[in-house]
Structure 1
Amino acid sequence: MVKNNILLIGAVLGWFAVITQYILMIDNRIASVPETTIRFFSFFTILTNLIVAIYFTVLRLKKTTSLLFRLEKPGVLSAVTLYISIVGLVYQVVLRSIWSPTGMQKLVDELLHSIIPLFVIVFWYVYENHKENQWKFIPSWLIYPSLYLVYILVRGNFSNFYPYPFVNVTQLGLQQVLINSGVLVLVFILAAVIFISISRWISKNPSHSRQFE
């Protein structure tokens, strides 16, 4: 019962943040609605928070579907947690200082980059099946961010729109962007190693239990 309520809260937070951010972006657009929509879904933050919202929603509804089966497979929750953790980390370290949102935008900003990442990390700690987390999962966890990177670089080459300053080829040049991307890949790998290491520790720690099921 407790877990179901937590799943509901996660779903509501996720959908509220993503939908409200879209409305705010449309209201303040500097391009056409179709182009703004494409740009909206070009942010790793948005795509990842959308994944979080879908994850919590599907698990909360508990409908017997192939998607539910996939989301309940070992390592999936850890992958989702890895992605949203990187969203929070990069924002706090790199992006927070470059703009100061106000009003509703500030609330949504904190939801997307701080509150939801922390919420997912706590959920992962309590409800992940840590015994089934394995080192071999890490390469597959890197597929999504790798494909995302290729997408934004290819599209940016044609549209001249880059969602984040550290991948802006126009301003930084391709060589620097590739260096920045390499650093991000290393951050993903390091974070993945940390999550697996924590899982291994938890699985061996008899004091850890799923008391909130």
Structure 2
Amino acid sequence: MEHSLSPYKPSKAATIYAAATGLVVWFALILQVSISIPAYMKVNNSLLNAIIQILSFFTIQSNLMVGVCLWTLLLKPSNALYRFFSREYVLGGICLYIIVVGLVYNIILRNLWHPTGLFKLADDLLHSVNPLLFVIYWLIFARQEKLKWTQSLNWLWFPFLYLIYTVIRGAIINYYPYPFINVDKLGYSQVLINSLILLIVFLVLGLLLVAVNRIFKTRTGPPS
């Protein structure tokens, strides 16, 4: 029997944690935007182009998902948005994306630049603190709906479409937000290989999240 639509009321601790973590996430996003826009505009970008540039980073998009999700969970359980974002499938997908943000940055990208001051603060929050905080929420407070293994495939749509968007936009403006998908330097063949590897990473981590979900479901969730 499927329980995804069963009534669910968050605990007081879950609500407090979502509110506090959401505050941290939105602070980091606002900080990053406020310091990045002037920096981009100094190199002959218009305000609109600067905003699009910032929003074109997978890090920003994933953190936006986290921020919207957490503060949507402060709404009444009867609210349609709350019902959507409280679903384990949705929370699991957002958790996957923000985990990849943390792993890729801290393993591959961190040593490529050395921010200071407010840039370093925003950098650490967006790539390290926020992913950890959301994983904790998912592990402790998410409702225990049993995920299907095939749902890990559905989670690939967002990164797949993001890669297509980034390559097309990069070909138009000659700018790529991440070095491993920089067609100008690597060529399309290498970028295709890198993209496939990245999607495999998403899939493997997605399967791992499903496995963790099913273990917790077996131990604590209602029978299906």
Secondary structure at the aligned position of 2:27 is classed as: helix
Equivalents in 2 of 1:2, 1:66: separation in Å?
Answer: 22
2:134 aligned to 120, 132, 149, which one?
120
TM-score (norm 2): 0.88
What does residue range 35-184 of structure 1 map to in structure 2 within 5 Å? 35-62=49-76, 64-184=78-198
Contact 1:78 1:128 in 2 (8 A): no
SS at 1:129 equivalent = coil
- 1:9 paired with 2:20, answer yes
Structure 1 unmatched runs, 5+: 209-213
Number of residue-to-residue matches in the alignment: 207
State the partner residue of 1:211.
none
Deviations 1:96-141 (A, max 9, x none): 0101111111111111000000011111111223442221211221
Residues 126-179 of structure 1, C-alpha deviations (whole Å, 9 max, x = no match): 122344222121122111111111111111111111111111101111111111
CA displacement at 1:69 relative to structure 2: 2.4
1:63 CA drift (Å): 7.0
Provide the rounded CA distance (Å) in 1 between the counterparts of 2:140 and 2:77: 23
- Is the contact made by 2:95 and 2:134 (CA closer than 8 Å) also made in structure 1? yes
Cα RMSD after superposing both structures: 1.5
Checking the alignment, whether the CA contact within 8 Å between 1:142 and 1:188 is kept in structure 2 is yes
Q: Percent same amino acid at aligned positions?
A: 37
Query: What one-letter code is carried by the residue in structure 1 that aligns with 2:148?
Result: Q
Distance 1:73 1:95 in 2: 32
Distance 1:63 1:19, change over 3 A: farther
Q: What is the letter of the counterpart of residue 126 of structure 2?
A: L
Structure 2 gap ranges (5+): 1-11
User: SS state of the match for residue 60, structure 1?
Assistant: coil
Deviation at 1:41, TM superposition (A): 0.6
| Residues 98 and 131, structure 2, Cα contact 8 Å, conserved in 1 | yes
